[in-house]
Amino acid sequence: MISSLIPNSELRTPNSIFAFMFLRTIAITLLLTALSFAESLSLALPDSLERLVEKATGETMALDYKAALNTAQALKAKDEGAGCVIESIVRISMYDDLGDTAALFKAGESLEKCKAQGLWQGLQMFELGFVQSETGHSIKGAMKTRSAAKMFEDSKELDPQAFYAIYAYYVDQSFSWLPFKSDNRSHYLTVLDSASKVSKRFWPLFLAPLIWMHYDKEDFETGLKLSERGLKKAPSHPVMLQIKADMLYRLKRYDGAAKIYEQSAESYLKRTGKSIRYWCSVLNLIRIYNDKGDQKAAQAWRDKLKAPEYKSLEKWMPGSLMDDLKKRKLL
């Protein structure tokens, strides 16, 4: 079949045959390189593996971490790199919800060793950057996040674009004071909004930063609507409920914010004991009742900080929350 593509007069010429075979090899090499490059700019997986990632996300948001870890292991058996990354994301979620710092450190150790390929390596680095920042290595974490973002930058897929948007938004915000500096934050908000709606695999990773971006803009109404969108996808999710309460507080809807945080404190006390999220509830209730003008209630919650359990976890409290309380001398 190959020979039928070559004129008969050239079939008997060794140099012509060599030249043809050489060009054919070059063409195949370029095609494989192009395909490899396209794959390197993608987070896509075979359908059966995509379903496992979606399943792990659903189980994580349903707070069934054991099931989510099992699903990640099933993915890991078929794609070691992607499974390792998803397993680590589940562990980071356990830290975020349960205050399980051991899960956070274990996620960091795993992310250092994951054998992910292509943009899954970018996601590996992105999540590792978060863990490093959260565990006190902010400069190292920022550099890792930057490297990951550069890998996502040229992808045409929505999910990688959304991961890049998280990084790029804060870069533009950092330099927004400079004259003549381009500012694409509105575009990045749009990308994240779209991804948080349609991505079945990573929507929580896109929705949370999107909410906090609007919070930073003091657009608390949009932040509230987005938190309610999250609660429609993951009803009664305890972290998303606290985020909703934060928006209500900034909108001066103190009764609604206090109700959520009081229920959250009670729920976390039962689920996890006096964990990080429990103390976040206590600290937020201090300032909610203070701003509402109910000093008796504020003091009642403040008195809880005398417990030794709080002192051991104080360094894990959100910096912005602690800064606000200290600045206003509410502690």
The candidate with the shortest Cα–Cα distance to 327, out of 274, 279, 290, is: 290
Q: Please report which confidence band the pLDDT of residue 99 belongs to, taking 50, 70 and 90 as the band edges.
A: very high
Q: What is the pLDDT of residue 64?
A: 98
pLDDT tens readout for residues 37-51: 344 689 999 999 999
What's the whole-number average pLDDT of the chain? 90
pLDDT tens readout for residues 172-189: 999 988 888 889 999 999
Q: What is the pLDDT of residue 176?
A: 86
Q: If you average pLDDT over residues 238-243, what whole number do you get?
A: 98
Q: What is the pLDDT of residue 177?
A: 84
pLDDT tens readout for residues 271-328: 999 999 999 999 999 999 999 999 999 999 999 999 999 999 999 999 999 999 999 9
Q: What is the pLDDT of residue 37?
A: 39
Q: What is the pLDDT of residue 28?
A: 39
Give the Å distances, CA to CA, from 221 to 196, 214, 250, 252, 317. 18, 9, 9, 11, 25
Q: What is the pLDDT of residue 105?
A: 98
pLDDT at 18 over 50: no
Element (H, E) at 171: helix 158-174
Q: Which residue has the higher pLDDT, 67 or 6?
A: 67
Give the Å distances, CA to CA, from 121 to 126, 133, 136, 160, 315. 9, 18, 23, 12, 31
Is this model's pTM higher than 0.95 or not? Answer: no
Domains of the chain (ranges, CATH numbers): 3-38 (no CATH), 49-175 (1.25.40.10), 215-331 (1.25.40.10)
Torsion angles phi and psi, residue 241, rounded to 5: -65, -40
pLDDT at 129 over 60: yes
Q: Please report which confidence band the pLDDT of residue 141 belongs to, taking 50, 70 and 90 as the band edges.
A: very high
Give me the percent of the chain exceeding a pLDDT of 70.
Answer: 88
pLDDT at 144 over 50: yes
pLDDT at 260 over 70: yes
Q: What is the pLDDT of residue 289?
A: 98
Q: What is the pLDDT of residue 30?
A: 33
